[in-house]
Structure 1
Amino acid sequence: MSYGLIGYAGYLPRYRLGAADIGLRGGDRVVASYDEDSTTMAVKAAGMVVGPGSRPEALYLATTTPAYADKTNASAVHAALGLPAGVLAADLAGTARSAIAGVVAAASGGGLVAAADVRVGRPGSSDEKAGGDGAAALWFGAGEPIAELLAVRSLTAEFLDRWRDPTAGTGWQWEERFGAEQYTDLIRSCSRAALDAAGVADADHAVLACPNTAVIKRAATLLKGQKSVSTSPIGHSGAADPLIALTGALDIADPGDTILLVSAVDGCDALVFRVTDAITTHRQKVPLSTQRRQGQPVPYLTYLAWRGLVERESPRRPEPERAAAPPAARAQRWKFGFAGTRCVRCGFTHLPPVRVCRSCGTTDDMIEVPMGRLAGTVVTYTVDHLAFSPSPPMVQAVIDIDGGGRCTLEVADARPEQLAVGARVRFTFRRLFTAGGVHDYFWKAVQDNAE
């Protein structure tokens, strides 16, 4: 049994590096904030695809920059989405080909595949100029499809084009012309085989993902699209690269259009999709092109400090202690799922969740209320220049959540000059800090016009 694509979303972080900072002739580079990683960005993209109560057959997380080694990162995404325990969560790590493996697995057995990466290049390197951070998610299920996967063809080849030592933060690439020579025949052969298998002469939209910039520059000569030939709008984004590029094509495709997705990494994979009439009412809320145009500049030195490429003086305050496993496990639905409790008898909402109602005293008569997809209003806030933060100042706000409940949260991607009492905020899953090799994840508020 095969499953159709029933939902998709791409996520581009808020921050941008200016062209002058990294030697670009124009434009800018999309970069994740200091509190974003492949796990948090996967939660963001996947959360725009699956709603409360959804149950995909499985969850696959593809990334080249996992937050943890020797621990399943997909389990944190699973918890943040509030998925049932019976849903398999598994990591697919390595290269962009991991994302294609996830797509094939999800399309054949049903499931949600999320791909996310934070690409780090040495200062002045091609990776710094041509890379980008982001995430995308595809959900294959039994509902009404917005696109059907018609054919998949793959070719594998072993040659050295891009590599990274597992313990290193940045990677290397061989001279680009060598990789381009290797990929050219693979792309043409694999894409032709996939189109023939799908019974399509030429696709309406052709999408090419490849870490070799020489190949990307020749996309229009390597692939033919009746309506468009495109690549990722943010440069190479690791495992997220092919899925981000595909979301851009889905944003503009018309019913009946075919999309050829080609990912050339250590070989080549070609997938052919046909878009259905359902695409007109099920596109992602904010198109990828709109996300790309939006952005907030970040100083280059700040960015280098975020990535650990320079060491700035830390705030003269005690650093946070490592998060402990037992309390994190006990509070999993609050910490990862941002779920409170509402008293059945009086309707009072508690954040964090409790067993005894603070309003009427009723015990163990609560229902769980997920808050992550709701919005709220700022009651009061503080801008703290002294608190420990990798990106001071730290902004914290007391928030009244729509439907009931009040809590205090840090504000992510904060712009204090635009924050005010009464401002509307939404919520996003982020990393609070890392101590002792343990990442402390929780939810933060985001100013309503920030993402």
Structure 2
Amino acid sequence: MTSGIGSWGVYLPYWRLERSAIAQSLGIAAGRGERTVASFDEDTTTLGVEASRRALATTASEEISQVLFSTPEPAYQDKTNATTIHGALSLDQHAAAYDIVGSVRSGVAALLMGLDAGARETTLVMIAEIRTGLAGGADERDSGDAAVAFRCVPEGAAVELIARASTSEEFVDRWRVPGEASSHQWEERFGEEAYVPLARAAFQEALKKAGITAEEIDTLIVTGLHARSLRVIKNSLGVDADRLAPDLALHAGNLGAAHLGISLADTLERAAPGHVIVTLQLADGADALVWRTTDAILDIQQAQRAANAKSVEEQLVSGRTDLAYNSFLTWRGQLHREPPRRPEPGRPGAPNMLRSEGWKYGFHASRCTSCGFRHLPPSRVCLKCKAVDEMEPERLADLEGTVATFTIDHLAFSLSPPTVGVVVDFDGGGRFRCELTDCDPSTVKIGMRVQMTFRRFYTADGIHNYFWKARPLQTSSAKEA
């Protein structure tokens, strides 16, 4: 059997910022299309959770032996972000969790480490990105937010890595020191002089190791943050334009560290067995990876469609595009608005969070083993039959539910008003009151189908308060068909 990537998951946030909104607000040219935007209650950790849930939709989470999380924009420093994802996925305590963070190239490193470890034990790799630039700048306009996850397996892979090559050289093209919200970039012509020969060398060496020529490549994926170098490289490697991967820039933007993985996932969703893919990323050097799909890919594609996983193509065209530019600036911390005149929320208590980890992070209810009644939050005493300590935990994060009633609150403070509160009846029993996110308040109704999503409620004294919200059920068109 073949080791490699056994499944994948992509998460593109619900919100989009149209570039025309930037142009209208600032009186500048900003181009066509839109960029993906993480909501005010999302960060790279929550994005990683959502991508991972899609990657694990067709398998048991108990199989995961190791978690590797990579992002240039971690929610925490001095604390492992991967452990939060570990908790939200309800993984086994013996599954290791590590961060590989700091730069765009860290994403490729995490993937390669995951593939290496995956040859021995199932490893989950997540790459998440939230990119923010200064108002009116190219990074703000052309970037995007997203996450991708890969389950790397020792056998039964959909795609295998057959060769790789890298080049590295010390030069200053793009940088950001700790505490800065946006990156600096050197003059573009200099970056082109540095990147182009490094990319060509890595590409040629990878093809040589794989024993193939450029004519045998079915899909070429070229990613990186240096736009000028990308244009030159795409036209100079001897690969026809019709074999270049679709450009995500129009509807998503440049997704930074996550871009390579998302383009690879997009290609895998349509690939047939024996499809040869070359990914080339430019970031402080170049990394060229040569992939070949296996006979298992058709069954894995079908399994992911059956699990109701939205494809990359579907997610690209399904976002909400009426985000106001001033809201975007507020969410990014560049527009400081008057807070409510109410007490500041207290920081979450570490002992309480540890004791309630199954509920807070894994969204575990308890089901009475005597009568079957389900309790949210978990309870020691059954509300129906009064049995004591006859409970078994039950994860509800992946269950769907129905809105029993709702309220739309225009007075409660929110960075995305109004706040929508719902009471959800879960399939199989259990009722829970929570916030509904990623929705158009005018479309909320009793009977609406919803699913749960992991979010950051607030941050107090540097501690993020993560928990679960509901959102309208997202259904794949393939599933509907």
Q: Which amino acid aligns with 2:142?
A: A
Does structure 1 residue 172 correspond to structure 2 residue 178?
no
Aligned length: 451
Using a 3 Å threshold, how does the CA distance of structure 1 residues 341 and 223 change in structure 2: closer, same or farther?
farther
- 2:313 is aligned to 289
Structure 1 runs (4+) deviating above 6 angstroms are none
- 1:385 is aligned to 410
Counterparts of 1:59 and 1:15 in 2: how far apart (Å)? 28
Does structure 1 residue 76 correspond to structure 2 residue 84?
yes
- 1:40 is aligned to 46
Cα RMSD over matched residues?
1.7
Q: TM-score, normalised by structure 2?
A: 0.90
- 1:228 is aligned to 243
- 1:249 is aligned to 267
Does structure 1 residue 216 correspond to structure 2 residue 230?
yes
Counterparts of 1:67 and 1:189 in 2: how far apart (Å)? 35
Does structure 1 residue 29 correspond to structure 2 residue 35?
yes
Counterparts of 1:350 and 1:52 in 2: how far apart (Å)? 24
Counterparts of 1:44 and 1:75 in 2: how far apart (Å)? 15
Q: Which amino acid aligns with 2:69?
A: L
SS at match of 1:64: coil
Q: 1:237 deviation in Å?
A: 2.3
Counterparts of 1:112 and 1:133 in 2: how far apart (Å)? 20
Q: Deviations over 1:6-57 (max 9, x none)?
A: 0111111011111212343211111110111000000000111124443223
Using a 3 Å threshold, how does the CA distance of structure 1 residues 195 and 345 change in structure 2: closer, same or farther?
same
Aligned residues of 1:343 and 1:349 also touching (Cα < 8 A): yes
Counterparts of 2:140 and 2:331 in 1: how far apart (Å)? 14
- 1:122 is aligned to 134
Q: Which amino acid aligns with 1:200?
A: I
Q: Which amino acid aligns with 1:176?
A: E
Find the partner of 1:258 among 276, 279, 287: 276
Q: 1:180-191 counterparts in 2 under 5 A?
A: 180-191=192-203
Q: Which amino acid aligns with 1:44?
A: E
Does structure 1 residue 13 correspond to structure 2 residue 19?
no
Counterparts of 1:250 and 1:238 in 2: how far apart (Å)? 19
Q: 1:232 deviation in Å?
A: 4.7
Does structure 1 residue 325 correspond to structure 2 residue 350?
yes
- 2:469 is aligned to 444
Q: 1:394 deviation in Å?
A: 1.3
Of the structure 1 ranges 144-153 and 71-80, higher mean CA displacement relative to structure 2 is found in 144-153
Q: Deviations over 1:112-157 (max 9, x none)?
A: 1100011111001110111110000111112411001111211111
Counterparts of 1:160 and 1:15 in 2: how far apart (Å)? 33
Q: 1:14-163 counterparts in 2 under 5 A?
A: 14-22=14-22, 23-50=29-56, 51-110=59-118, 111-163=123-175
Q: 1:416 deviation in Å?
A: 1.1
Of the structure 1 ranges 21-30 and 7-16, higher mean CA displacement relative to structure 2 is found in 21-30
Counterparts of 1:244 and 1:229 in 2: how far apart (Å)? 14
Q: 1:220 deviation in Å?
A: 2.7
Q: TM-score, normalised by structure 1?
A: 0.96
Counterparts of 1:435 and 1:187 in 2: how far apart (Å)? 44
Of the structure 1 ranges 215-224 and 320-329, higher mean CA displacement relative to structure 2 is found in 215-224
Aligned residues of 1:206 and 1:223 also touching (Cα < 8 A): no
